[in-house]
């Protein structure tokens, strides 16, 4: 089973089985480690790999796409179609199953639009088809099942403003997912580089919800560092985080043009 292969890879990477209940593998975990024999996918090939005839390659690519898009899809259908959480969870699983089975991605033409827009449109069409035909994918015991934490998604959804449109929420969730994946990637990078202090500073200063954020002198006291070290370490971590995010995005976008447009959206820069 495809997911079992992924499961095996992640165990070798040191992730515990429990964490797999709540996390999907990052693209670097799926693709970056030449020691386990998997080839690293180049920037342009995640979407193309998802259209591949090779089931293993397709599976890895779909799971990378799912990592970035499952929450946006879940929250989007919950908001737009006002369906119950269980139905939304089923739908989300169904959606990525069909992606895995090439149903949607065969129709994707990278010249015609962004992947993000395409997936949202597919979600709409699938939902409308299912609603019209009252049909659901019958998923038997052998069907792939992605480990998605819908409970966490539901908790996050409770904080969303009712004035926000489902489309805006989809886009925001996409940004959030990519940033979360970027944080994972940064963590791995810092672990491998022996820079966990830098990562923890970054986590403490930039990832926590504290208001106001701790000052550099507070962080220096907390971590037993000089203020200049805090400044330098944070600068390093932020620089690395930026690189991780953009690398992540580059893997998810099939063309340079889409990468730049999506990067602008990711950075929150207005795009005409």
Partner 1 sequence: MTQLSDKVVARLQAEMQVPDLTGTRYHLVRYLARGGMGSVWLVEDTVLQRRLALKVLDLIAPTDDLAARLLQEGRILARLEHPGIVPMHDAGTLLDGRAFYCMKYVEGQTLTQHIPNKSLPDKLRVVERIAEPLDFAHARGFIHRDLKPDNVMIGAFGEVLVMDWGLAKVSASNLKPAENEIATVVLPTQNSLRVTGTGIVLGTPGYMSPEQARGDIAVDHRSDIFSLGAILWFMLTGSAPGELPVAAGSVPRPLRAICEKAMAADPRARYQSAQEMTADIANYRNEEPVSAYSESLLERAGRVFARHRTAIVLVAVYLLMRVLFILFEPR
Binding residues for partner 1, per CB under 8 A?
22-24, 152, 156, 159, 172, 175-176, 179-181, 183-184, 206-209, 211, 213, 232, 235, 238-239, 241-243, 245-246, 256-257, 260-261, 263-264, 266-272
Which of residues 86 and 211 has its CB atom nearest to partner 1 in the complex? 211
Could you tell me the smallest distance in angstroms from the CB atom of residue 260 to partner 1? 5
Could you tell me the smallest distance in angstroms from the CB atom of residue 267 to partner 1? 5
Which of residues 22 and 129 has its CB atom nearest to partner 1 in the complex? 22
Which of residues 52 and 231 has its CB atom nearest to partner 1 in the complex? 231
Could you tell me the smallest distance in angstroms from the CB atom of residue 113 to partner 1? 13
Which of residues 77 and 245 has its CB atom nearest to partner 1 in the complex? 245
Could you tell me the smallest distance in angstroms from the CB atom of residue 50 to partner 1? 21
Could you tell me the smallest distance in angstroms from the CB atom of residue 176 to partner 1? 5
Could you tell me the smallest distance in angstroms from the CB atom of residue 55 to partner 1? 26
Place of tokens 């893997």: 251
Residue 124's Cβ-count burial label (10 Å; 0-12, 13-18, 19+) is middle
Nearest one of 45, 43, 195, 187 to 179, comparing CA atoms = 187
Which of residues 161 and 192 has its CB atom nearest to partner 1 in the complex? 161
Q: Both tokens of residue 223?
A: 């971590």
The CA radius of gyration of the chain, in Å to the nearest whole number, is: 19
Which of residues 45 and 184 has its CB atom nearest to partner 1 in the complex? 184
């Amino acid at each position: 089973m495809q997911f079992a292969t992924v499961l095996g890879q992640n165990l070798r990477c040191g992730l515990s089985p429990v964490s797999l209940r709540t996390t999907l593998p990052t693209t670097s975990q799926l693709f970056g480690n030449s020691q386990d024999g998997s080839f690293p996918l180049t920037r342009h090939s995640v979407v193309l790999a998802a259209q591949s005839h090779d089931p293993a390659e397709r599976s890895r690519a779909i799971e990378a796409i799912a990592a970035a898009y499952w929450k946006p899809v879940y929250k989007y259908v919950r908001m737009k179609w006002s369906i119950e959480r269980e139905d939304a969870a089923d739908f989300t699983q169904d959606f990525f199953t069909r992606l895995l089975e090439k149903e949607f991605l065969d129709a994707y033409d990278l010249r015609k639009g962004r992947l993000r827009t395409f997936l949202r449109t597919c979600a709409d069409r699938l939902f409308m088809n299912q609603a019209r035909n009252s049909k659901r994918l019958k998923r038997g015991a052998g069907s792939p099942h992605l480990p998605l934490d819908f409970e966490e998604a539901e908790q996050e959804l409770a904080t969303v403003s009712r004035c926000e449109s489902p489309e805006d929420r989809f886009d925001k969730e996409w940004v959030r997912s990519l940033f979360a994946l970027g944080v994972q990637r940064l963590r791995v990078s810092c672990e491998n580089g022996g820079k966990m202090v830098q990562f923890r500073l970054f986590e403490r200063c930039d990832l926590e919800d504290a208001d106001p954020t701790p000052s550099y002198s507070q962080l220096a006291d907390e971590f037993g560092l000089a203020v200049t070290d805090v400044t330098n370490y944070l600068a390093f971590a932020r620089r690395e985080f930026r690189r991780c995010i953009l690398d992540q995005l580059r893997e998810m976008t099939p063309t340079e043009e889409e990468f730049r447009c999506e990067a602008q959206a990711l950075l929150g820069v207005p795009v005409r």
